[in-house]
Amino acid sequence: MNPIQLLPAVEKFLSQPGRLFIGGTWQDAANGRRFAVENPATEQTLTEVAEGGERDVDAAVAAARAAFTGTWAQQSPAQRGLLLFRLAELLDQHREELAQLITLENGKPIANARGEAASAANIIRYFAGWPTKIEGSTLPVSPSSGAPMLNYTLREPVGVCALIVPWNFPLTMCVWKLGPVLATGCVAVLKPAEQTPLVAIRLVQLIEAAGFPAGVVNLLTGLGVHTGAPLAQHPDVDKIAFTGSTQVGRLIAQAATGNMKKVSLELGGKSPNIILPDADIVRAAKGAADGIFYNQGQVCTAGSRLYVHASVLDQVLEELQRHAAAHVLGPGLDPASSMGPLVSARQLGTVRGYLQRGQEEGAELICGGDRPAHLEQGHFIQPSVFLDRAERACVAREEIFGPVLTVMSWTEIDELVLRANDSPYGLAAGLWTRDLRSAHRVAAQLKAGSVWINCWNVVDPASPFGGYKQSGWGREMGKNVIDAYTETKSVFVDLA
Helix, strand and coil content of the chain, in percent to the nearest 5, comes to: 40, 20, 40
Count Cβ atoms within 10 A of the Cβ of residue 205 and give its class: 0-12 exposed, 13-18 middle, 19 or more buried: middle
Question: Are the CB atoms for 139 and 152 separated by under 8 Å?
Answer: yes
> 3-class DSSP state for residue 384?
strand
Phi, psi of 5 (to 5 degrees): -85, 140
Cα separation, 71 vs 66, in Å, equals: 8
Residue 153: C-alpha distances to residues 35, 59, 73, 135, 138 (Å): 48, 34, 19, 8, 6
Instruction: Tell me the CA distances in angstroms from 468 to 10, 180, 212, 425, 465, one per residue in order.
Output: 40, 22, 35, 7, 11
Strands 472-473 and 384-387, sheet pairing: unpaired
Q: 225 burial class (0-12, 13-18, 19+ CB within 10 angstroms)?
A: exposed
Establish whether 266 is a catalytic residue.
yes
CA–CA gap between residue 306 and residue 420 (Å, rounded)? 9
Q: Identify which of 27, 21, 35, 14 has the alpha carbon closest to the alpha carbon of residue 222.
A: 35
Q: Find the catalytic residue in 116, 266, 319, 476.
A: 266
Give the catalytic positions in this structure: 266
